Amino acid sequence: MKIAAIIGGGVIGGGWAARFLLNGWDVRVFDPDPEAERKINEVLSNARRSLPGLGNVVLPAEGALSFHDTLPEAVAGADWVQESVPERLDLKMDVYAQLTAACDDRTIIGSSTSGFKPSELQAGSANPGQIMVAHPFNPVYLLPLVELVTTSANDAERVATAKEIISSLGMHPLHIRKEIDAHVADRLLEAVWRESLWLVKDGIVTTEELDDAIRYGFGIRWAQMGLFETYRVAGGEAGMKHFMAQFGPALKWPWTKLMDVPEFTDDLVDLIADQSDAQSGQHSIRDLERIRDDNLVGMMRALSANDWGAGKLQNAHDAARMADAGLARTLAEIEDLSQPILTQARVVPLDWVDYNGHMTESRYLDAFAQSTDRLMEIIGCDDAYIANGGSYFTAETHIRHLDEVHAGDVIHVKTRVIMGAGKKMHLWHEMTAGERLLATGEHMLLHVNLKTRRASAPAADIEANLVKIAQKQAKLVAPDGLGRSIGAPR
C-alpha cells in the first residue's frame, strides 16, 4: 500500500489528503490544530461526493486515514510527503529540517507553496534533492493541475517518479524547470487580481459584475483551450500571426494598471468584502464548495465527451484504471467468456440524479448504451472499424426499472450475448448495486454499412467474435425478463 503524509491540514492539505485517499493511498496527517481532523473530514466528505463521479471507471478502494501527534510518526515509511503549512519561509524551513531528518532518503517531499522557489526550500537541507514544489489548485481533489518546480538538485529519476505519482492521481504535472517567484499560474492570477482591484476601486464594476465578465465569457474559453490556443482561434483562418498583428498594438494602449496597485486601505478592503457579502453571503462556505464542485464536474465531464482539455486527462486516467476495475478492452483480456462480461464499473455522477433524488430514467439507457459500446469495442467494432464504414445501430430496446440508485452509488453492468450471427447482435444487460438488481436492458442491433446506411454483414472477425461469446454463454439459464414486452406480467 502506498503511503502519503500530509503536513498541514488546512484547505489545501485537506484537498491533498482527499486526492490521495480516494485514489487508494493510505494517508497520514500531522497538524497541531485541534480542529484539523474535523476540517479534513469535512473536505473529505465533499470530495467523496464529487470526485468518484468525475470519471467513468470506479476508483480503487479508499485508503486508510490516520492522524498523528508528531511529525516523525506521520512521515515514517511515507512514499510522498506533501507540506502545506502557512506561507512563512521560517516556518517552512523548520518543517523541512524535521522532514529530512525523519523521512527515508527515497521519499519525495512536495511543497504546496504558491510563492516560494524550490531553491529557497532546499537551502541548507541535508538532502535537497528530495524537496520540490508541487503547487496544486483548489479544490485539489478535483482540479488536475500541479506545478512541479524543480532545481538542478532534483535528479531526473526522482523528477520522473514525482511526475508518475502525480499522474497516477489523475492530475497533470506541469514541470517548470526554471524557477521564478510565484511559479506560472499564480503570476497570471496576480495580474488579473491587480487589475480587478482597480476596476472595483474606481467604481467601474462591482465584484459580482467582474465575476460575471469571467464566468460568462473568457473563463469558459480558458477552461478548455487556455490562453494562446484561444487567441489562435480568435485570429481566424489566418491564425496566431493575424491575431498578433491585429491586437499587438493594443499592448501600448493604456488598458491596464498592472504595474500600479491601489493602496490596500481599510476602505478598499471593506468595499470589496461588503460587495462580496452581498453577492454570496446567502450561502455557507460548504454550500458554495458543493455548488463549485457540481459545476466543475459538469464542465469537465462535458470536456471528457470531446476528449479535450481536462476531460482528455480524465479519460486517460479512466483508461489507466480499467484493468484494475475488471474492465476489458479486447476479447483476449477476458478469462471466462462463458459468464456475463463486465462492461461498466462506475459511480453514479451528480448530473445523473433527477428531482426525485435518484438516477433519472434516461441515464439507465445511457449506461446500457455505454455498455453496448464497450461490448462492441471488445469484439473489434472499435473506432478504427467504424471509421472504415461499419457499425451497429440499435433497432429495439426494452428496459425494466427495478430499483432506485442514487448519486455516489457504485454500479456495475454485466452483458450477455444472446445472439451474434449474421447482421444481428442481441444483447442483455443487467445493472446492479452490490446484490441489488437495479435494471435490465434488452437490445437488438443491426450491423450497418455507414456509406449506404443499410443493414449489411459485419466483417468476418467481428461476427466470429460475437458467435464465440454467444456459444460460450448459451449454457447459462435464460435471464428473467428476456423477450418481455411492455405491460407483460412480472
pLDDT given at position 262: 83
Sign of CA dihedral 302, 305, 308, 311: positive
Residue with cell 504595474: 259
Residue 391 corresponds to which amino acid?
Answer: S
Contact 297, 353 (CB under 8 A): no
**Grid cell at residue 43:** 473536505
The DSSP string of 148-204 is EE--TTS-HHHHHHHHHHHHHTT-EEEEE-S--TTTTHHHHHHHHHHHHHHHHHTTS
The answer to whether residue 60 scores a pLDDT higher than 90 is: yes
Q: What is the mean pLDDT of residues 259-265?
A: 82
pLDDT given for residue 284 in this prediction: 87
pLDDT number for residue 208: 94
- Cα-to-chain-centroid distance, residue 186: 21
Rounded distance between C-alpha atoms, residue 372 and residue 363, angstroms: 14
**HSE of 63 in the Cβ direction (CA atoms, 13 Å)?**
20
Residue 288: count other Cβ atoms within 10 Å of its Cβ: 12
38-42, 231-235, 407-411, 464-468: least confidently modelled range: 231-235
Average the pLDDT over 68-92 and give the result: 96
Residue type, 412: H
Q: What confidence tier does 490 reach under pLDDT thresholds 50, 70, 90?
A: low
Q: Using a CB cutoff of 8 Å and minimum separation of 24, what contacts does 31-40 make?
A: 31/6, 31/7, 31/67, 33/9, 36/9, 36/67, 37/9, 37/67, 39/9, 39/10, 39/14, 40/9, 40/13, 40/14, 40/65
How does pLDDT run across 128-167, given as a tens digit for each residue?
Answer: 999 999 999 999 999 999 999 999 999 999 999 999 999 9
Task: Considering only CA atoms, give the Rg of the chain.
Answer: 27
Q: Does residue 250 register a pLDDT over 80? A: no
Full-model pTM: 0.86
Q: Report the pLDDT value the prediction gives residue 13, as an integer from 0 to 100.
A: 97
Range with the lowest mean pLDDT among 8-12, 106-110, 269-273, 359-363?
269-273
Sign of CA dihedral 154, 156, 159, 165: negative
C-alpha–C-alpha distance, residues 344 and 347, integer Å: 10
- Cell 427495478 belongs to 402
Question: Are the CB atoms for 61 and 347 separated by under 8 Å?
Answer: no
Lowest mean pLDDT among 118-132, 222-236, 435-449: 222-236
Q: Are 166 and 148 in contact (CB under 8 A)?
A: yes
Question: What is the spatial distance between Cα 44 and Cα 58, in angstroms, rounded to a whole number?
Answer: 17
Cell triple for 166: 502525480
Cα–Cα distance measured from residue 43 to residue 11, given in angstroms and rounded to the nearest whole number: 8
Q: Give yes or no for a contact between 343 and 416, defined as CB atoms under 8 angstroms apart.
A: no
Query: In terms of DSSP H, where are the helices of 22-176?
Result: 36-50, 71-75, 89-102, 118-122, 156-168
pLDDT tens-place string over residues 282-320: 988 888 888 889 999 999 999 998 998 889 999 999 999
3-class secondary structure, 241: helix
d(CA 195, CA 186): 14
Please say if the pLDDT value at position 86 is more than 80: yes
**pLDDT computed for residue 489 by the predictor:** 66
pLDDT tens figures, 173-209: 999 999 999 999 999 999 999 999 999 999 999 999 9
> Hey, what's the torsion of the CAs at 249, 250, 252, 258, to 10 degrees?
-150
| Per-residue pLDDT reduced to its tens digit, 419-459 | 999 999 999 999 999 999 999 999 999 999 999 999 999 99
Cell of 335: 478469462
Span 10-19, mean pLDDT? 97
Q: Identify the pLDDT of residue 240.
A: 83
Cα-Cα end-to-end distance for the chain: 47
What's the rounded Cα separation, in Å, for the pair 438 and 430? 8
Are residues 431 and 464 in contact, defined by beta-carbon separation less than 8 angstroms?
A: no
Residue 353 and residue 408 in contact, taking contact as beta carbons nearer than 8 Å: no
**Alpha carbon distance 94, 87 (integer Å):** 12
Find the range with the poorest average confidence among 255-264, 323-332, 436-445. Answer: 255-264
Q: For residue 130, which of 112, 155, 149, 148 has the smallest C-alpha distance?
A: 155
Q: Evaluate whether 310 touches 144 at the Cβ level (below 8 Å).
A: yes
Cell of 448: 450497418
Looking at residue 176, its pLDDT comes to: 97
The stretch 474-480 carries a mean pLDDT of 94
Beta strands in 305-378 (DSSP E): 341-347
Grid cell 541535508 is found at 126
Q: Under a CB-based contact definition with an 8 Å cutoff, are residues 172 and 322 in contact?
A: no
